[in-house]
Structure 1
C-alpha cells in the first residue's frame, strides 16, 4: 500500500498552503484524495508530484482556467498528448514574452538607479 501523507506534510513539501490544497481539490486540480476515518485528507506521492506541476504552472502565470484544462487533459491519458503539448507550448511562449518584458523593465530600472546615483554623487561632490 502507498504511504499516505498528512496535509501538513504535503504543505511542507509542496509549498502550497492548506487553503490552496483545499481550493485545488474543490475546483478539480487535485483528485482521488482519500479521507481518514476521522475525515482528514490523505495524500500520496502522486499528489505531491502533481502539485509540483501545478506549482510550475502557477508560478509561471498560467491562469486557473488553463490549469484546469491541462489537468482535465492529463487525466484523459495519451489521447490528449497533442492538446497538452499545445497548452504548454502556448504557455511557454507567454512566459518568454513576459521574461522579455521584465528584462526591458529591468534595463529601465537600472538606468534610473544609475541616474539617481549620479545625482547623489554630484550633490555630494558639490558639498565637499
Structure 2
C-alpha cells in the first residue's frame, strides 16, 4: 500500500520536515520513490524502519552511525558481523547512559526524601541555601 508523506508523518509521529531531513541524510534503507508529479511515496517497510531509526536516534546514535549501518545493510549479505558489532557498540553506550541516569535518579530520589522529611518536620529553613550559607547545614549535610 502506497503512503503519502503526510500519512507517514501521522503514523510515525515524525514531522514532514523530519521525514524530508531523513531522506536528505540518506537514512532510508531504500531511496524514497516519487510519482511523476514529484510526490513522495512510502511503503510499510519504511514505517518499520522509521520506528527503529527513531529509537536509534533517541538513544543517542549519531546520524553518521545510522548512515553507516544503512550502507552496510544496502551492501547485502557478507557484512552481518560488522552490523552486529556496530549495534553492540551502541548497546554498550546505551547501557552506560542507563547506568548514569539510574545514578542521577537515585540522587534525585534521595534529595526528594530529604526535602519531604524537612518539610514534614517544619524544618525547611534548614535546607541548604547558597545565599544563607553561614546558617545552612550545607550541601554535604543536606545530601546525606
- TM-score of the two chains, using structure 1 as the length reference: 0.89
| 1:26 maps to 2:28 | no
> Per residue, is there more helix in 1 or in 2?
1
1:66 aligns with 65
User: How far 1:37 sits from its partner (Å)?
Assistant: 2.9
Give the aligned CA root-mean-square deviation in angstroms.
1.3
Separation in structure 1 between the aligned mates of residue 55 and residue 79 of structure 2, nearest angstrom: 20
2:13 aligns with 15
Q: Which runs of 5+ in 1 are unaligned?
A: none
Figure out how many residues of one structure are paired with residues of the other and give that number. 122
1:86 aligns with 85
Per-residue CA deviation, residues 23-47 of structure 1 (Å, 9 max, x unaligned), is: 1111111232111232211111121
Q: From the CA coordinates, give the structure whose radius of gyration is larger.
A: 2
1:96 aligns with 95
Separation in structure 2 between the aligned mates of residue 76 and residue 13 of structure 1, nearest angstrom: 29
- TM-score of the two chains, using structure 2 as the length reference: 0.80
Q: Which has the higher contact order (CA 8 A, sep 6+)?
A: 1
Separation in structure 2 between the aligned mates of residue 122 and residue 28 of structure 1, nearest angstrom: 59
